[in-house]
Amino acid sequence: MQDTELFLSLAEIAGVFVGFGALISVRSGGASEAHEVAYVRSVVWAAIWVVIAALAPVIISRYDITGHDLWLVCSLVALVFWLGLLLGDARTPEAREDLVATSRARFIREMTVSLLVAVPMVIALVLIVLGVFPDLEPALYLTAVALGLFMGALTLLLLVFSQRRPRAASDPVALPTTGGSSG
């Protein structure tokens, strides 16, 4: 397979996203808001999907599976894992809580961004499964994996931009009260 190094590089980049997700989740005792938990989980899941999808052709090709059969098996693996991630993510309490708390405008904005990436990714994989463009299957698969990585990056960006601004030093802070007398 000619793109082995490229797929390994994409898997390495996705591994960095998994590391970022782990770092975010353990900082300051972990994420506390449902929104942050849901988004960190989505970044990590997208990155793990990319690792699996990027390594699939490298591993499967070692069994002398080539051509359409290689890309068919890899695409099916990628689609099954993608479906599993979507179904698993939607069932988490944090994802449900975040959905309820999300404004309509933010929901539409974020779904539009997600769909602009996810739909072409899934279409590329389905085109491979259907064998519509046999000569383009390696390119379609690489496009799907790259879009998965792009989705993880966009999710991380959406998480960063959705965070509340920290309190400025000049903002009044409520001081804790003690049981002692003042005076």
Cα distance between the two ends of the chain: 80
Whether residue 14 has pLDDT greater than 50? yes
65 φ, ψ (degrees, to nearest 5): -95, 125
Q: Look up tokens 């899934």; give the residue.
A: 122
Q: Report the b/e string of 68-101 with b at 16+ CB within 10 A.
A: eebbbbbbebbbebbeebeeeeeeeebbeebeee
- pLDDT, residue 29, reads 55
Q: Work out the pLDDT band at 120, boundaries 50, 70, 90.
A: very high
78-106 pLDDT, tens digit per residue, is 999 999 887 776 667 766 776 777 677 77
